[in-house]
Amino acid sequence: MTSPHASRPTPITVLGTGAWGTSLARLATANPGNVVRSWSRSSPETLEAVVADAEVLIIAIAMQGIVKLSKRLQTIGLKEQTIIVTATKGLDPETHLSPSRLWQAAFPRHAVAVLSGPNLSKEIDRGLPAATVVASTNEAAAQRVQTLISSDRFRVYTNTDPLGTELGGTLKNVMAIAVGACDGLNLGTNAKSALMTRALPEMVRVGVKLGADPETFLGLAGLGDMLATCSSRLSRNYRVGYGLAQGQPMAEILQALDGTAEGVNTTEVLLAIAKEHQISVPITKAVHALIHGRMDAKAAVEVLMDRELKPETLGLL
């Protein structure tokens, strides 16, 4: 696909210089038609300077910083044509909104896109092939971002369901904690496969209730991301569950991580959403009890295994 903007350089700014933000900046830089700048709170340049000419703004910061950053950018102002791309996975604890909905509320006249998929940054940095999804209700914006960051080692797909795309990437972090605990207890492949299979409809039930397309969860941003996160010790959320199952204190586990395990905070918000909308989330409840020390990993697994016998239905709605 040839971009209508390909004849001139495209200014792209990446906000966030953690592992994922750095990887995204490298991917964007690989396209010779892009001029890429990165920024964090420790950068010598001001935020005003790096966003002034940006036509694409990729935001890869932790969930806890979204509201504060959006208010700063509202004060600064963005070019009318700037596309906001959120690569954050999480839910706001106060509003229960996803990052894209927070950004759209802050900048209602701007195109907002979600970038999410099975993307372990350490593998991408090694040049290993990967695929992702860019989703937006503005199809032209999604296609432009697709063109700007695609390469022979990073395949980008588009869809029109930004909420489902980011919920897939967000909710699987909770499931990864559960799977990490399963592996930490050495329960075997059968138990792990059963847990992951039941995790998917739990994610779909939440997503559909909030307005997402159920099919999105069967793609890269749902099932694909869950398989990657639940199968690799590169995943911080997986390592949280694994460490808890090994008897490590939560504070010690979090201190050893090279970044934020968003699944810990997401579990709190997800459980509140489930209560509000009366959604069945047994795995989330078990993870919440495990995180807060009300139940050890062995007891959490026993609770899931002792649920009433019933037919195997997906129970998506």
> Which residue segment(s) compose the domain that 229 sits in?
167-305
* Structural domain count, the chain: 2
Helix/strand/coil (H, E, C) string of 83-151?
EEEECCCCCCCCCCCCHHHHHHHHCCCCCEEEEECCCCHHHHHCCCCEEEEEECCCHHHHHHHHHHHCE
For the cut 50, the answer to whether the pLDDT of residue 4 exceeds it is no
The crossing angle, in degrees rounded to 10, of helices 162-184 and 99-106 is 150
Give me the chain's average pLDDT, please: 93
Domain boundary among 160, 178, 202: 160
Choose the catalytic residue: 68, 71, 122, 172.
Answer: 172
Confidence tier at 258 by pLDDT (50, 70, 90): confident
**219 belongs to a structural domain:** yes
User: What is the rounded CA–CA span in Å between residue 190 and residue 301?
Assistant: 13
Question: Do 119 and 201 fall into the same domain?
Answer: no
| Locus of tokens 């350089």 | 9
**Average pLDDT of span 144-151:** 96
Q: Do residues 180 and 86 share a domain?
A: no
- CATH no. for residue 20? 3.40.50.720
Residues 19 and 47 in one domain: yes
For 167-176, how does the pLDDT look when each residue is reduced to its tens digit (9 = 90+)?
Answer: 999 999 999 9
User: How, if at all, do strands 130-135 and 112-116 pair?
Assistant: antiparallel
Checking if the pLDDT of 110 tops 50, the result is yes
Q: What is the pLDDT of residue 2?
A: 46
Beta carbons within 10 angstroms of residue 127's beta carbon: 10
* Residue 177 and residue 60 in one domain: no
Is 281 part of any domain? yes
Distance, CA of 89 to CA of 61 (rounded, Å): 9
Percent of the chain with pLDDT over 70: 94
3 within domain boundaries: no
d(CA 258, CA 253): 10
Q: Please indicate, yes or no, if residue 314 is contained in any of the structural domains.
A: no
Same domain for 224 and 89: no
The structure tokens 């593998």 sit at 123
What integer is the mean pLDDT of 13-23? 96
Closest CA to 253 of 235, 268, 271: 235
Q: Is residue 5 part of a domain?
A: no
Catalytic site includes residue 275: no
Q: DSSP characters for 240-283?
A: HHHHHHTT--HHHHHHHSSS--HHHHHHHHHHHHHHHHT---HH
Span between the terminal Cα atoms of the chain, in Å:
37
Rounded CA-CA distance 263/91 in Å is: 10
**Contacts of 177 by beta carbon, 8 Å cutoff, 6+ apart:** 237, 238, 240, 241, 244, 261, 263, 264, 267, 287, 290, 291
Give the domain-ending residue among 116, 139, 160.
Answer: 160
Tell me the mean pLDDT in the region 9-33: 95
- Grade residue 231 by pLDDT with cuts at 50, 70 and 90: confident
Residue 313 within any structural domain of the chain = no
Is 2 part of any domain? Answer: no
User: 1 pLDDT exceeds 70?
Assistant: no
How far is residue 184's CA from residue 304's CA, in Å, rounded to a whole number? 16
Q: Are residues 207 and 116 in the same domain?
A: no
Both 44 and 143 in one domain: the answer is yes
Residues 119 and 48 in one domain: yes
Same domain, residue pair 154 and 188: no
Give the percent of the chain with pLDDT over 90: 88
Q: What is the mean pLDDT of residues 122-132?
A: 96
136 and 232, same domain (yes or no): no
Looking up residue 200, the CATH number of its domain turns out to be 1.10.1040.10
Residue 228 counted as domain residue = yes
Main-chain phi, psi angles of 157, to 5 degrees: -105, 160
Q: Quick one: 74 and 206 in the same domain?
A: no
Give the mean model confidence (pLDDT) for residues 236-258: 94
Q: 204 with 300, same domain?
A: yes
pLDDT in tens, 47-98: 999 999 999 999 999 999 999 999 999 999 999 999 999 999 999 999 999 9
CA 77 distance to own-chain centroid: 26
Out of 111, 142, 160, pick the residue that ends a domain: 160
pLDDT at position 103: 98
**What does the DSSP assignment read for 159-203?**
ES-HHHHHHHHHHHHHHHHHHHHHHHTT-HHHHHHHHHHHHHHHH
